[in-house]
Amino acid sequence: MMDRELSPLRGTALTLLLAAALAISCLMPGAARAASVKPQVILDRPLALAGEAKPFYVLVRFQVPEPTAATTAKRAPLNIALVLDRSGSMAEGGKLSYAKRAAKMVIDSLQPRDRLALVEYDEVVSVMWPSAPLETPAMIKRLINDLLPRGSTNLSGGMMQGAEQVRRHLDGEAINRVLLLSDGLANAGITDPANIARMAREVRRAGIGISTLGLGLSYNEDLMQDIAENAGGQYHYVEAPEQLAGIFCRELQSLFQTVARDVALVFEAAPAVRTVKVFGAAAESKHGRTLVALENFVAGEQRSLLLRLETSPLILGQTALGTLRLSYEEVNGKTRQQLAHEVTVQVSKAENEVQKAANKEVDVEVAMVEAERRHTAALKTYQEGRPSEARRQMQALAADLAGRQAELGDVRLAKKIEVLRIEERQMQSVATASASAPPQTASAYLKASKQRLYQAKKGRRGSYLLREGDKGFEVERLQKALTAAQVYSGPIDGTFGAEVGRAVKDYQQRQGITADGIAGPATMHELGIY
Protein backbone atom coordinates (compact mmCIF):
# COMPACT_ATOMS: atom_id res chain seq x y z
CA MET A 1 0.00 0.00 0.00
CA MET A 2 1.37 3.41 -1.01
CA ASP A 3 -1.16 5.86 0.47
CA ARG A 4 0.35 6.52 3.90
CA GLU A 5 1.81 9.95 4.65
CA LEU A 6 5.43 10.12 3.55
CA SER A 7 7.75 12.57 5.28
CA PRO A 8 10.79 13.81 3.31
CA LEU A 9 13.02 13.18 6.33
CA ARG A 10 11.49 9.90 7.50
CA GLY A 11 14.08 7.45 8.77
CA THR A 12 16.81 10.01 9.43
CA ALA A 13 17.31 8.73 12.97
CA LEU A 14 17.70 5.17 11.72
CA THR A 15 20.10 6.34 9.01
CA LEU A 16 22.30 7.99 11.63
CA LEU A 17 22.08 4.93 13.87
CA LEU A 18 23.26 2.70 11.04
CA ALA A 19 26.04 5.13 10.18
CA ALA A 20 27.25 5.17 13.76
CA ALA A 21 27.22 1.37 13.84
CA LEU A 22 29.50 1.07 10.82
CA ALA A 23 32.70 -0.82 11.49
CA ILE A 24 35.12 1.37 9.56
CA SER A 25 37.97 -0.51 7.98
CA CYS A 26 39.32 0.61 4.63
CA LEU A 27 42.33 -1.67 4.56
CA MET A 28 42.06 -3.86 1.49
CA PRO A 29 43.92 -7.11 0.81
CA GLY A 30 44.66 -5.82 -2.66
CA ALA A 31 42.91 -4.92 -5.85
CA ALA A 32 41.96 -7.40 -8.52
CA ARG A 33 44.56 -7.77 -11.20
CA ALA A 34 43.13 -5.79 -14.06
CA ALA A 35 40.55 -7.95 -15.75
CA SER A 36 39.53 -6.99 -19.27
CA VAL A 37 36.72 -4.43 -19.32
CA LYS A 38 34.62 -5.58 -22.22
CA PRO A 39 31.57 -3.52 -23.10
CA GLN A 40 28.32 -5.20 -24.05
CA VAL A 41 26.86 -3.27 -26.99
CA ILE A 42 23.12 -3.68 -27.67
CA LEU A 43 21.19 -2.02 -30.52
CA ASP A 44 17.51 -1.30 -29.94
CA ARG A 45 16.55 -2.40 -33.48
CA PRO A 46 18.90 -4.85 -35.18
CA LEU A 47 16.32 -4.88 -37.99
CA ALA A 48 15.09 -1.52 -39.32
CA LEU A 49 12.39 -0.44 -41.75
CA ALA A 50 13.50 0.83 -45.15
CA GLY A 51 12.95 4.55 -45.69
CA GLU A 52 12.38 5.20 -41.99
CA ALA A 53 14.42 7.89 -40.24
CA LYS A 54 13.57 6.88 -36.67
CA PRO A 55 16.57 7.29 -34.30
CA PHE A 56 18.53 4.27 -33.15
CA TYR A 57 19.58 3.72 -29.54
CA VAL A 58 22.77 1.91 -28.58
CA LEU A 59 23.05 0.64 -24.99
CA VAL A 60 26.64 0.17 -23.81
CA ARG A 61 27.08 -1.78 -20.58
CA PHE A 62 30.30 -2.21 -18.64
CA GLN A 63 30.70 -4.91 -16.03
CA VAL A 64 34.05 -5.37 -14.33
CA PRO A 65 34.69 -8.77 -12.70
CA GLU A 66 34.80 -8.99 -8.92
CA PRO A 67 38.24 -9.36 -7.29
CA THR A 68 39.06 -12.96 -6.45
CA ALA A 69 41.80 -14.66 -4.44
CA ALA A 70 43.28 -15.99 -7.67
CA THR A 71 43.47 -12.58 -9.31
CA THR A 72 44.43 -10.33 -6.42
CA ALA A 73 47.63 -8.41 -6.81
CA LYS A 74 49.36 -5.54 -5.11
CA ARG A 75 47.25 -2.43 -5.53
CA ALA A 76 48.50 0.68 -7.27
CA PRO A 77 50.00 3.34 -4.98
CA LEU A 78 47.92 6.42 -4.25
CA ASN A 79 48.95 10.03 -4.74
CA ILE A 80 46.17 11.95 -3.01
CA ALA A 81 45.41 15.32 -1.47
CA LEU A 82 42.89 15.60 1.32
CA VAL A 83 41.26 19.06 1.16
CA LEU A 84 39.30 19.95 4.31
CA ASP A 85 36.83 22.78 4.81
CA ARG A 86 37.52 24.51 8.14
CA SER A 87 35.12 27.44 7.65
CA GLY A 88 33.04 28.71 10.56
CA SER A 89 30.00 26.60 9.64
CA MET A 90 32.04 23.44 10.31
CA ALA A 91 31.60 24.16 14.04
CA GLU A 92 27.90 23.28 13.77
CA GLY A 93 26.88 19.83 14.93
CA GLY A 94 30.45 18.75 15.51
CA LYS A 95 31.10 18.59 11.76
CA LEU A 96 34.79 19.47 12.03
CA SER A 97 35.31 16.87 14.76
CA TYR A 98 33.86 14.16 12.54
CA ALA A 99 35.91 15.43 9.59
CA LYS A 100 39.07 15.11 11.69
CA ARG A 101 38.19 11.53 12.62
CA ALA A 102 37.52 10.69 8.98
CA ALA A 103 40.82 12.27 7.90
CA LYS A 104 42.71 10.22 10.48
CA MET A 105 40.91 7.09 9.27
CA VAL A 106 42.19 7.86 5.76
CA ILE A 107 45.73 8.10 7.14
CA ASP A 108 45.37 4.77 8.95
CA SER A 109 44.24 3.14 5.69
CA LEU A 110 47.26 4.21 3.64
CA GLN A 111 50.70 2.64 3.31
CA PRO A 112 54.17 4.26 3.42
CA ARG A 113 54.42 4.02 -0.38
CA ASP A 114 51.31 6.20 -0.77
CA ARG A 115 51.68 9.96 -1.01
CA LEU A 116 49.42 12.28 1.00
CA ALA A 117 49.00 16.05 1.04
CA LEU A 118 46.78 17.82 3.55
CA VAL A 119 45.17 21.15 2.59
CA GLU A 120 42.80 23.21 4.76
CA TYR A 121 40.79 26.22 3.69
CA ASP A 122 38.45 28.92 4.88
CA GLU A 123 38.84 32.23 3.00
CA VAL A 124 42.58 31.47 3.18
CA VAL A 125 44.10 28.28 1.77
CA SER A 126 46.95 26.62 3.66
CA VAL A 127 49.01 23.52 2.95
CA MET A 128 49.16 21.81 6.33
CA TRP A 129 51.26 18.93 5.03
CA PRO A 130 52.94 19.08 1.60
CA SER A 131 52.68 15.94 -0.49
CA ALA A 132 55.02 13.27 0.85
CA PRO A 133 55.15 9.50 1.33
CA LEU A 134 53.14 8.49 4.38
CA GLU A 135 56.06 7.80 6.69
CA THR A 136 55.09 9.91 9.74
CA PRO A 137 51.33 9.42 10.21
CA ALA A 138 51.36 10.41 13.88
CA MET A 139 52.77 13.84 13.04
CA ILE A 140 50.05 14.44 10.41
CA LYS A 141 47.35 13.43 12.88
CA ARG A 142 48.63 15.97 15.39
CA LEU A 143 48.26 18.70 12.76
CA ILE A 144 44.71 17.55 12.07
CA ASN A 145 43.89 17.70 15.79
CA ASP A 146 44.87 21.40 15.82
CA LEU A 147 42.29 22.41 13.18
CA LEU A 148 39.72 24.96 14.39
CA PRO A 149 36.69 26.34 12.50
CA ARG A 150 36.87 29.92 11.22
CA GLY A 151 36.12 32.21 8.30
CA SER A 152 34.47 31.82 4.89
CA THR A 153 34.70 29.19 2.13
CA ASN A 154 37.31 29.52 -0.64
CA LEU A 155 36.35 26.19 -2.18
CA SER A 156 38.01 26.80 -5.56
CA GLY A 157 41.28 27.80 -3.89
CA GLY A 158 41.32 24.68 -1.74
CA MET A 159 40.50 22.50 -4.73
CA MET A 160 43.28 23.94 -6.90
CA GLN A 161 45.88 23.81 -4.13
CA GLY A 162 45.01 20.14 -3.58
CA ALA A 163 45.40 19.52 -7.31
CA GLU A 164 48.74 21.35 -7.32
CA GLN A 165 50.05 19.16 -4.50
CA VAL A 166 49.13 16.03 -6.47
CA ARG A 167 50.49 17.48 -9.74
CA ARG A 168 53.94 18.13 -8.27
CA HIS A 169 54.40 14.40 -7.78
CA LEU A 170 52.27 13.10 -10.64
CA ASP A 171 52.94 9.39 -10.99
CA GLY A 172 51.96 7.41 -14.06
CA GLU A 173 51.73 4.24 -11.98
CA ALA A 174 49.71 5.78 -9.12
CA ILE A 175 46.07 6.74 -8.73
CA ASN A 176 46.16 10.55 -8.60
CA ARG A 177 43.17 12.01 -6.77
CA VAL A 178 41.95 15.02 -4.77
CA LEU A 179 39.32 14.41 -2.06
CA LEU A 180 37.45 17.69 -1.55
CA LEU A 181 35.17 18.21 1.48
CA SER A 182 32.85 21.20 1.93
CA ASP A 183 29.77 22.00 3.98
CA GLY A 184 28.95 25.43 2.57
CA LEU A 185 28.60 27.71 -0.41
CA ALA A 186 31.68 28.93 -2.26
CA ASN A 187 31.79 32.56 -1.06
CA ALA A 188 35.48 33.47 -1.31
CA GLY A 189 38.00 33.27 -4.13
CA ILE A 190 36.55 32.20 -7.49
CA THR A 191 32.85 31.52 -6.89
CA ASP A 192 31.33 31.31 -10.39
CA PRO A 193 30.21 27.68 -10.96
CA ALA A 194 31.06 27.73 -14.68
CA ASN A 195 34.61 28.89 -13.96
CA ILE A 196 35.05 26.30 -11.21
CA ALA A 197 33.81 23.56 -13.56
CA ARG A 198 36.30 24.73 -16.19
CA MET A 199 39.09 24.55 -13.61
CA ALA A 200 38.01 20.99 -12.75
CA ARG A 201 38.25 20.01 -16.43
CA GLU A 202 41.79 21.39 -16.56
CA VAL A 203 42.71 19.30 -13.53
CA ARG A 204 41.37 16.20 -15.25
CA ARG A 205 43.37 16.94 -18.40
CA ALA A 206 46.47 16.96 -16.19
CA GLY A 207 45.74 13.34 -15.19
CA ILE A 208 44.18 14.08 -11.78
CA GLY A 209 40.68 13.22 -10.59
CA ILE A 210 38.62 15.10 -8.01
CA SER A 211 36.01 13.44 -5.79
CA THR A 212 33.72 15.72 -3.80
CA LEU A 213 31.95 15.24 -0.48
CA GLY A 214 29.14 17.67 0.30
CA LEU A 215 28.35 17.70 4.01
CA GLY A 216 24.99 18.75 5.45
CA LEU A 217 22.31 20.93 3.88
CA SER A 218 23.99 24.28 3.13
CA TYR A 219 26.40 23.46 0.30
CA ASN A 220 25.69 23.76 -3.44
CA GLU A 221 25.07 20.18 -4.57
CA ASP A 222 24.98 21.16 -8.26
CA LEU A 223 28.46 22.68 -8.01
CA MET A 224 29.93 19.73 -6.10
CA GLN A 225 28.45 17.31 -8.62
CA ASP A 226 29.73 19.38 -11.54
CA ILE A 227 33.25 19.41 -10.09
CA ALA A 228 33.26 15.62 -9.72
CA GLU A 229 31.83 15.00 -13.19
CA ASN A 230 34.19 17.43 -14.92
CA ALA A 231 37.20 16.04 -13.04
CA GLY A 232 36.40 12.34 -13.46
CA GLY A 233 35.70 11.66 -9.79
CA GLN A 234 32.72 10.76 -7.62
CA TYR A 235 30.21 13.00 -5.87
CA HIS A 236 28.94 12.04 -2.41
CA TYR A 237 26.10 13.61 -0.44
CA VAL A 238 26.90 13.28 3.27
CA GLU A 239 23.63 13.84 5.09
CA ALA A 240 25.11 13.89 8.59
CA PRO A 241 28.67 14.25 9.93
CA GLU A 242 28.46 10.79 11.51
CA GLN A 243 28.50 9.35 7.98
CA LEU A 244 31.76 11.01 6.93
CA ALA A 245 34.13 8.18 7.88
CA GLY A 246 32.02 5.58 6.08
CA ILE A 247 31.84 7.62 2.89
CA PHE A 248 35.56 8.43 2.94
CA CYS A 249 36.05 4.68 3.34
CA ARG A 250 33.92 3.93 0.26
CA GLU A 251 35.90 6.44 -1.77
CA LEU A 252 39.21 4.92 -0.64
CA GLN A 253 38.02 1.41 -1.45
CA SER A 254 37.18 2.51 -4.99
CA LEU A 255 40.71 3.91 -5.34
CA PHE A 256 42.25 0.73 -3.93
CA GLN A 257 40.25 -1.38 -6.39
CA THR A 258 40.76 0.70 -9.52
CA VAL A 259 41.62 -1.71 -12.33
CA ALA A 260 41.51 0.54 -15.42
CA ARG A 261 42.32 4.21 -15.91
CA ASP A 262 42.85 6.74 -18.69
CA VAL A 263 39.65 5.39 -20.23
CA ALA A 264 38.63 6.63 -23.68
CA LEU A 265 35.43 5.70 -25.51
CA VAL A 266 35.03 6.93 -29.07
CA PHE A 267 32.11 6.43 -31.45
CA GLU A 268 33.07 6.88 -35.10
CA ALA A 269 29.85 7.54 -36.99
CA ALA A 270 29.24 5.99 -40.41
CA PRO A 271 27.98 8.23 -43.26
CA ALA A 272 24.36 7.20 -42.58
CA VAL A 273 24.48 8.81 -39.11
CA ARG A 274 23.75 12.55 -38.95
CA THR A 275 23.98 13.26 -35.21
CA VAL A 276 25.06 11.45 -32.03
CA LYS A 277 23.86 12.23 -28.50
CA VAL A 278 25.24 10.51 -25.40
CA PHE A 279 23.30 9.98 -22.16
CA GLY A 280 25.15 9.03 -18.99
CA ALA A 281 28.48 10.77 -19.56
CA ALA A 282 29.92 14.00 -20.91
CA ALA A 283 30.71 13.83 -24.63
CA GLU A 284 32.04 15.99 -27.43
CA SER A 285 31.39 15.40 -31.15
CA LYS A 286 33.63 16.67 -33.93
CA HIS A 287 34.07 15.60 -37.56
CA GLY A 288 32.05 12.40 -37.11
CA ARG A 289 33.87 11.30 -33.95
CA THR A 290 32.20 11.44 -30.54
CA LEU A 291 34.58 11.28 -27.59
CA VAL A 292 32.95 10.14 -24.35
CA ALA A 293 34.59 11.03 -21.04
CA LEU A 294 34.61 8.01 -18.71
CA GLU A 295 35.85 7.61 -15.16
CA ASN A 296 38.29 4.92 -14.04
CA PHE A 297 36.85 1.42 -13.75
CA VAL A 298 36.68 -0.27 -10.35
CA ALA A 299 36.60 -4.03 -9.69
CA GLY A 300 33.04 -5.32 -9.42
CA GLU A 301 31.34 -2.20 -10.71
CA GLN A 302 28.54 -2.00 -13.26
CA ARG A 303 27.97 1.04 -15.41
CA SER A 304 26.08 1.89 -18.57
CA LEU A 305 25.50 4.68 -21.05
CA LEU A 306 23.15 5.23 -23.96
CA LEU A 307 23.77 6.67 -27.44
CA ARG A 308 21.06 8.07 -29.69
CA LEU A 309 21.87 8.02 -33.40
CA GLU A 310 19.88 10.17 -35.82
CA THR A 311 20.17 8.78 -39.35
CA SER A 312 19.14 9.55 -42.89
CA PRO A 313 16.41 7.27 -44.32
CA LEU A 314 18.01 3.86 -44.87
CA ILE A 315 17.96 1.66 -47.96
CA LEU A 316 17.60 -2.14 -48.11
CA GLY A 317 20.48 -4.32 -47.02
CA GLN A 318 23.03 -4.11 -44.26
CA THR A 319 23.98 -0.61 -43.18
CA ALA A 320 26.88 0.41 -40.98
CA LEU A 321 26.03 2.86 -38.21
CA GLY A 322 29.52 3.24 -36.82
CA THR A 323 32.35 1.81 -34.75
CA LEU A 324 32.60 1.96 -30.98
CA ARG A 325 36.19 1.98 -29.70
CA LEU A 326 37.17 1.52 -26.04
CA SER A 327 40.72 1.92 -24.79
CA TYR A 328 42.13 1.97 -21.27
CA GLU A 329 45.29 1.29 -19.31
CA GLU A 330 45.38 -1.69 -16.97
CA VAL A 331 46.45 -0.45 -13.55
CA ASN A 332 48.51 -3.49 -12.62
CA GLY A 333 49.21 -4.97 -16.02
CA LYS A 334 50.52 -1.60 -17.22
CA THR A 335 49.38 -2.37 -20.75
CA ARG A 336 46.93 -0.45 -22.92
CA GLN A 337 43.88 -2.41 -24.03
CA GLN A 338 41.95 -1.49 -27.16
CA LEU A 339 38.64 -2.97 -28.25
CA ALA A 340 36.37 -2.18 -31.18
CA HIS A 341 32.75 -3.06 -31.92
CA GLU A 342 31.06 -2.52 -35.28
CA VAL A 343 27.45 -1.33 -35.01
CA THR A 344 25.38 -2.42 -38.00
CA VAL A 345 21.69 -2.75 -38.84
CA GLN A 346 19.83 -4.88 -41.38
CA VAL A 347 17.25 -2.86 -43.34
CA SER A 348 14.03 -4.57 -44.41
CA LYS A 349 10.57 -3.87 -45.84
CA ALA A 350 8.89 -6.38 -43.51
CA GLU A 351 7.32 -4.14 -40.85
CA ASN A 352 6.12 -7.06 -38.71
CA GLU A 353 9.61 -8.57 -38.61
CA VAL A 354 11.09 -5.21 -37.69
CA GLN A 355 8.70 -4.87 -34.75
CA LYS A 356 9.45 -8.40 -33.55
CA ALA A 357 13.20 -7.73 -33.61
CA ALA A 358 12.98 -4.74 -31.24
CA ASN A 359 15.12 -5.20 -28.14
CA LYS A 360 13.03 -4.77 -24.98
CA GLU A 361 16.09 -4.27 -22.76
CA VAL A 362 17.15 -1.18 -24.70
CA ASP A 363 13.56 0.09 -24.85
CA VAL A 364 13.38 -0.07 -21.05
CA GLU A 365 16.68 1.80 -20.68
CA VAL A 366 15.49 4.48 -23.12
CA ALA A 367 12.31 4.90 -21.07
CA MET A 368 14.34 5.11 -17.85
CA VAL A 369 16.77 7.69 -19.23
CA GLU A 370 13.91 9.86 -20.51
CA ALA A 371 12.12 9.54 -17.16
CA GLU A 372 15.27 10.59 -15.32
CA ARG A 373 15.66 13.59 -17.62
CA ARG A 374 12.09 14.73 -16.92
CA HIS A 375 12.50 13.98 -13.20
CA THR A 376 15.57 16.24 -13.14
CA ALA A 377 13.58 18.99 -14.88
CA ALA A 378 10.82 18.70 -12.26
CA LEU A 379 13.38 19.08 -9.48
CA LYS A 380 14.69 22.22 -11.17
CA THR A 381 11.14 23.61 -11.29
CA TYR A 382 10.73 22.80 -7.60
CA GLN A 383 14.06 24.41 -6.70
CA GLU A 384 13.02 27.56 -8.57
CA GLY A 385 10.10 27.98 -6.16
CA ARG A 386 7.24 26.51 -8.22
CA PRO A 387 6.27 23.43 -6.18
CA SER A 388 2.74 23.04 -7.59
CA GLU A 389 4.06 23.01 -11.16
CA ALA A 390 6.80 20.56 -10.16
CA ARG A 391 4.23 18.21 -8.64
CA ARG A 392 2.17 18.35 -11.85
CA GLN A 393 5.29 17.48 -13.83
CA MET A 394 5.93 14.49 -11.56
CA GLN A 395 2.32 13.33 -11.86
CA ALA A 396 2.38 13.62 -15.66
CA LEU A 397 5.66 11.72 -15.83
CA ALA A 398 4.30 8.93 -13.62
CA ALA A 399 1.23 8.63 -15.86
CA ASP A 400 3.33 8.50 -19.04
CA LEU A 401 5.69 5.95 -17.51
CA ALA A 402 2.71 3.82 -16.46
CA GLY A 403 1.80 3.63 -20.15
CA ARG A 404 5.31 2.44 -21.02
CA GLN A 405 5.16 -0.04 -18.14
CA ALA A 406 1.89 -1.48 -19.49
CA GLU A 407 3.63 -1.96 -22.83
CA LEU A 408 7.01 -3.28 -21.62
CA GLY A 409 6.17 -4.88 -18.25
CA ASP A 410 9.49 -4.32 -16.48
CA VAL A 411 10.12 -4.03 -12.73
CA ARG A 412 12.52 -1.11 -13.23
CA LEU A 413 9.74 1.00 -14.72
CA ALA A 414 7.35 -0.05 -11.95
CA LYS A 415 9.84 0.99 -9.26
CA LYS A 416 10.57 4.29 -11.01
CA ILE A 417 6.84 5.03 -10.88
CA GLU A 418 7.01 4.32 -7.13
CA VAL A 419 9.88 6.81 -6.88
CA LEU A 420 7.88 9.51 -8.63
CA ARG A 421 4.80 9.00 -6.48
CA ILE A 422 6.81 9.00 -3.26
CA GLU A 423 8.75 12.12 -4.22
CA GLU A 424 5.64 13.95 -5.42
CA ARG A 425 4.17 13.38 -1.96
CA GLN A 426 7.46 14.46 -0.40
CA MET A 427 7.18 17.74 -2.31
CA GLN A 428 3.70 18.19 -0.88
CA SER A 429 4.90 17.24 2.60
CA VAL A 430 7.68 19.84 2.47
CA ALA A 431 5.17 22.50 1.40
CA THR A 432 2.88 21.55 4.29
CA ALA A 433 5.80 21.84 6.73
CA SER A 434 6.76 25.28 5.41
CA ALA A 435 5.87 26.99 8.66
CA SER A 436 8.59 25.12 10.58
CA ALA A 437 11.81 24.80 8.58
CA PRO A 438 11.26 25.12 4.83
CA PRO A 439 14.87 25.69 3.71
CA GLN A 440 16.20 22.70 5.65
CA THR A 441 13.48 20.23 4.69
CA ALA A 442 13.49 21.28 1.04
CA SER A 443 17.29 21.11 0.89
CA ALA A 444 17.35 17.63 2.40
CA TYR A 445 14.79 16.40 -0.12
CA LEU A 446 16.58 17.97 -3.09
CA LYS A 447 20.03 16.72 -2.14
CA ALA A 448 18.86 13.15 -1.59
CA SER A 449 16.86 13.07 -4.83
CA LYS A 450 19.69 14.59 -6.88
CA GLN A 451 22.16 12.05 -5.43
CA ARG A 452 19.92 9.20 -6.63
CA LEU A 453 19.59 10.76 -10.08
CA TYR A 454 23.36 11.33 -10.25
CA GLN A 455 23.92 7.60 -9.75
CA ALA A 456 21.03 6.60 -12.04
CA LYS A 457 22.51 8.64 -14.88
CA LYS A 458 25.41 6.18 -14.91
CA GLY A 459 23.04 3.21 -14.88
CA ARG A 460 23.45 2.66 -11.13
CA ARG A 461 19.98 2.50 -9.60
CA GLY A 462 20.76 0.59 -6.41
CA SER A 463 19.76 3.60 -4.30
CA TYR A 464 16.11 2.75 -4.99
CA LEU A 465 16.05 -0.72 -6.57
CA LEU A 466 17.81 -3.81 -5.19
CA ARG A 467 17.10 -7.43 -6.00
CA GLU A 468 18.67 -10.86 -5.86
CA GLY A 469 22.14 -10.90 -7.41
CA ASP A 470 22.93 -7.26 -6.62
CA LYS A 471 26.09 -6.44 -4.66
CA GLY A 472 27.74 -3.46 -3.05
CA PHE A 473 27.37 -0.71 -0.49
CA GLU A 474 23.63 -0.26 -1.09
CA VAL A 475 23.00 -3.94 -0.32
CA GLU A 476 25.12 -3.69 2.82
CA ARG A 477 23.05 -0.70 3.92
CA LEU A 478 19.86 -2.69 3.22
CA GLN A 479 21.15 -5.63 5.27
CA LYS A 480 21.85 -3.32 8.22
CA ALA A 481 18.36 -1.82 8.02
CA LEU A 482 16.71 -5.26 7.82
CA THR A 483 18.77 -6.36 10.81
CA ALA A 484 17.62 -3.29 12.75
CA ALA A 485 14.03 -4.16 11.77
CA GLN A 486 14.60 -7.67 13.22
CA VAL A 487 13.73 -9.52 10.02
CA TYR A 488 17.29 -10.47 9.00
CA SER A 489 20.06 -12.20 10.93
CA GLY A 490 22.42 -13.12 8.12
CA PRO A 491 25.84 -11.70 7.25
CA ILE A 492 26.39 -8.02 6.43
CA ASP A 493 28.39 -8.79 3.29
CA GLY A 494 26.87 -6.58 0.60
CA THR A 495 25.40 -9.52 -1.35
CA PHE A 496 21.67 -9.74 -2.07
CA GLY A 497 21.05 -13.48 -1.82
CA ALA A 498 17.98 -15.60 -1.18
CA GLU A 499 18.09 -14.95 2.57
CA VAL A 500 18.00 -11.18 2.03
CA GLY A 501 15.13 -11.62 -0.43
CA ARG A 502 13.12 -13.56 2.15
CA ALA A 503 13.80 -10.88 4.76
CA VAL A 504 12.64 -8.16 2.37
CA LYS A 505 9.45 -10.07 1.62
CA ASP A 506 8.83 -10.65 5.33
CA TYR A 507 9.27 -6.94 6.04
CA GLN A 508 7.00 -5.97 3.14
CA GLN A 509 4.24 -8.23 4.42
CA ARG A 510 4.50 -6.67 7.88
CA GLN A 511 4.30 -3.15 6.44
CA GLY A 512 1.49 -3.78 3.96
CA ILE A 513 3.74 -3.26 0.93
CA THR A 514 3.46 -5.48 -2.15
CA ALA A 515 5.53 -8.51 -1.11
CA ASP A 516 7.74 -9.14 -4.14
CA GLY A 517 11.09 -9.57 -2.35
CA ILE A 518 12.51 -6.61 -4.28
CA ALA A 519 13.77 -3.67 -2.23
CA GLY A 520 12.19 -0.79 -4.09
CA PRO A 521 11.62 2.82 -3.02
CA ALA A 522 8.53 2.10 -0.90
CA THR A 523 10.36 -0.62 1.04
CA MET A 524 13.49 1.50 1.44
CA HIS A 525 11.43 4.48 2.57
CA GLU A 526 9.79 2.45 5.32
CA LEU A 527 13.23 1.15 6.35
CA GLY A 528 14.54 4.71 6.59
CA ILE A 529 17.19 4.32 3.90
CA TYR A 530 15.52 6.06 0.93
The pLDDT score that the predictor gives to residue 342 is: 97
The CATH number of residue 152's host domain is 3.40.50.410
Chain segment 448-506, per-residue pLDDT in tens: 999 999 999 998 998 999 999 998 889 999 999 999 999 999 999 999 999 999 999 99
Among residues 256, 289, 323, which one ends one of the domains?
256
Within this chain, do residues 334 and 263 fall inside the same structural domain, yes or no?
yes
Within this chain, do residues 185 and 244 fall inside the same structural domain, yes or no?
yes
Q: What are the residues whose beta carbons fall under 8 Å from the beta carbon of 316, sequence distance 6 or more?
A: 50, 347, 348, 349
Within this chain, do residues 41 and 154 fall inside the same structural domain, yes or no?
no
The pLDDT score that the predictor gives to residue 434 is: 59
Distance CA 321, CA 345 (A): 7
Query: Sheet harboring 125-133: ordered strands across?
Result: 125-133, 115-121, 78-85, 175-182, 209-215, 235-238
Within this chain, do residues 66 and 81 fall inside the same structural domain, yes or no?
no
The pLDDT score that the predictor gives to residue 73 is: 57
The pLDDT score that the predictor gives to residue 88 is: 92
Within this chain, do residues 220 and 133 fall inside the same structural domain, yes or no?
yes
The pLDDT score that the predictor gives to residue 71 is: 45
The pLDDT score that the predictor gives to residue 5 is: 39
The pLDDT score that the predictor gives to residue 27 is: 54
The CATH number of residue 41's host domain is 2.60.40.3670
The pLDDT score that the predictor gives to residue 383 is: 93
Look at residues 175, 167, 171, 235 and name the one whose alpha carbon lies nearest to residue 202.
167
Within this chain, do residues 83 and 178 fall inside the same structural domain, yes or no?
yes
Within this chain, do residues 98 and 240 fall inside the same structural domain, yes or no?
yes
The pLDDT score that the predictor gives to residue 36 is: 73
The pLDDT score that the predictor gives to residue 19 is: 44
Name the average pLDDT for the chain.
Answer: 90
String of b and e for 86-125 (b: at least 16 CB within 10 Å)? bbebbeeeebbebbbbbbbbbbebbeeebbbbbbbbbeeb
Within this chain, do residues 80 and 225 fall inside the same structural domain, yes or no?
yes
Q: State if pTM tops 0.85.
A: yes
375 occurs within a structural domain: no
Among residues 256, 281, 302, which one ends one of the domains?
256
Domain count, the chain: 3
414 occurs within a structural domain: no
Low pLDDT (below 70) residues in the chain: 1-35, 68-73, 433-440
Structural domain for 51, as ranges: 33-72+259-356
Within this chain, do residues 344 and 269 fall inside the same structural domain, yes or no?
yes
Among residues 207, 227, 256, which one ends one of the domains?
256
Distance CA 15, CA 18 (A): 5
317 occurs within a structural domain: yes
The CATH number of residue 471's host domain is 1.10.101.10
The pLDDT score that the predictor gives to residue 274 is: 96
364 occurs within a structural domain: no
Within this chain, do residues 189 and 93 fall inside the same structural domain, yes or no?
yes
444 occurs within a structural domain: no
439 occurs within a structural domain: no
Question: Residue 323's beta-bridge partner residues?
Answer: 268, 342
Distance CA 176, CA 166 (A): 7
Within this chain, do residues 14 and 101 fall inside the same structural domain, yes or no?
no
391 occurs within a structural domain: no
Count CB atoms within 10 A of the CB of residue 313. Answer: 12
Using CA atoms, how far residue 309 sits from 43, 277, 287, 446, in Å, is 10, 7, 15, 32
Q: What are the residues whose beta carbons fall under 8 Å from the beta carbon of 427, sequence distance 6 or more?
A: 382, 387, 390, 391, 394, 445
384 occurs within a structural domain: no
Chain segment 208-228, per-residue pLDDT in tens: 999 999 999 989 999 999 999
The pLDDT score that the predictor gives to residue 8 is: 44
Within this chain, do residues 40 and 90 fall inside the same structural domain, yes or no?
no
**153 with 85: CB under 8 angstroms?**
yes
